Structure 1
Amino acid sequence: MRIDIICKPECGGSCERTLENVRAALSQLGVKAEVHLYRDVRKMIDNRVYVSPALMVDDLLRVAGRIPDVHEIKGFICERPRYQAREKEVA
């Protein structure tokens, strides 16, 4: 699983708060994922993100323009097919 947080270079603490929420959600679920924080205008343009911060889960834009809370991020992670396949193997 790959999670990208895309921000403007001059953004304030919203990127860090989003990163903290993502890390908290991953630790609560016990899921390992690649988490990348980008502060690059070019990355925003490439992904058609116009407001920051933006949260992408496995190259799907999930949230843009606000800081998602931990419960919401956990929902995004649980929706992914890779997570559901892993849970099916355990059960």
Structure 2
Amino acid sequence: MKIKRISDDVEVELSQDELLVLNAALNEACNGIDVFEFETRIGASRANVERLLAEIQAALDQIDERQRIRKLSVEAFAHSQNLSLQTVLAG
């Protein structure tokens, strides 16, 4: 995690692994356990936490899609050059 800017709000840069941890924690808070007095204990309404969870899930989906496209591009390049995927990735 890298804090990029602090003012009235905060800009934070997270790795994919950090996003996955945050996603799992928010998912557990929203769906895995029945939290009595959710807003008091969590510090935000269930609706706000669910919105944040949806935004994080969308970001993770975008990362997955970019990785899938990148892999397909590398595979297509390897195929067009009659190279093995291992050769392209090693080079």
Question: How would you bin the TM-score normalised by the shorter chain?
Answer: under 0.3
More helix by share: 2
Rg (Cα) greater in structure: 2
Pick 1 or 2: higher relative contact order, CA cutoff 8 A, min separation 6: 1
TM score, norm. by length of structure 2: 0.28
TM score, norm. by length of structure 1: 0.28
